[in-house]
A and B are shown apart, each in its own frame.
Chain A
């Protein structure tokens, strides 16, 4: 069981662990390589420019194209406008999304990006895509999710054979002198067992993250659809009919003063409603800052309609993100994440070595995989 569950996933897991390494430091690497114009120096307390102005500027830059969403950062003074040539194009290929970065205080354009891959891929984009879907879109996401599931099976089955194996050995024994194989077997066991809590959590949250597309689709088909049922068949608003996004933002902020309003998603989004702005808010406390709640605002009249229930599986997804990315505890946590990732690479590599050296050395004698790992047989 341990042999087969690990063998199938090991090569993919190695790829995931190696591509994940630079992703832990994604913000830092991005910041270093960022060629955007700097933020304007402004006096303390300068208010943000209106989202209406930013949206108008975006439409002037790309006439006839569609605004997908507007994101207001509360960390840096920036407003991001995400666009695509049309909703059809965006639905057919999410990677057709491009963005414009505005200075939140001045409304100046700081940077524009092309659709994914149109300008060649950056190093981090290659790593992220390998890590998430192997450049295969949704099937790749589900496939790697399956590999992560096998990784969890390998951890559990590894725990099951660790007990019998350690019956005659003290914890942490590494027999360096006996043979190279024995040394790596002991290292595999030691490094695997000290990191198993972390590996289990990162593996399990990885599975959940890979399911984000189907989970959002499920939410769309159930809660969101039920909510929109009364509006079924009504005409979808044209661009010229849209109410002010700034007004929608302000209305939500006023209705939920304990929340931070982050994103306005335009009507037509596959993650939203054909008739409403979906305004995303999040809490201010450490834990609730990870939990987002969507509020519907009628995109024609600008009237706040209601919040949408977030089901448990999307809450689980939201909490899975930080626990998988390791980006929630400052630089020291990121460094620990890198170290734990390196240890996991060593566990995978040594496991692979043990199997390769076993099949060379032991196969002629027809030993079963477990015989070697059972007490007594290891010596």
Chain B
């Protein structure tokens, strides 16, 4: 944690999670059937799970 982290590292997770969010929102809208619905639920849950894991981990 010393020194400055490169941009790539700073934005890796935020960009990935934002892409998952948008994918999840669109998958259910455009697909609206079985597999796309499930993918949508998963994609939208991952960012929430990531936040939960970060919080739990920092308690340890």
Contacts and interface: CB of A to CB of B under 8 A. Distances in A.
Interface string A150-186: 0000000001001100111111111110000000000
B52 to A, nearest CB: 10
Given A168-B3, A190-B54, A195-B47, 4 more contacts: A176-B59, A197-B17, A286-B30, A287-B29
Interface residues of B, number: 40
Contacts of B37: 329-330, 332-333
Interface stretch (A85-93, A228-236, A335-343): A335-343
Interface string B1-26: 11111010111111001111110010
B4 A172 contact: no
B44 A198 contact: yes
Contact of A174 (B11, B29, B41, B58): B58
Given A170-B1, A333-B44, A175 B58 contact: yes
A195 B21 contact: yes
B55 A174 contact: yes
A168 B20 contact: no
Given A169-B1, A332-B41, A196 B48 contact: no
A352 interface: no
Interface in B32-60: 32-33, 37, 40-41, 44-45, 47-48, 50-51, 53-55, 57-59
Q: Say what secondary structure dominates the interface of chain B.
A: helix
A195 B46 CA distance: 10
A354 to B, nearest CB: 17
Most-contacted residue by chain B among A176, A187, A198, A343 (CB, 10 A): A198
Contacts of A375: 4
A190 B48 CA distance: 10
Nearest to B32: A286
Contacts of B44: 198, 333, 336, 340
Contact of A172 (B13, B20, B31): B13
20 contacts: A159-B14, A167-B5, A168-B3, A171-B54, A187-B55, A193-B13, A193-B14, A193-B17, A194-B47, A194-B51, A196-B21, A197-B18, A197-B21, A198-B21, A201-B21, A201-B22, A319-B29, A329-B37, A333-B37, A336-B45
A373 interface: no
A322 interface: yes
A53 to B, nearest CB: 34
Nearest to B6: A167
Nearest to A197: B21
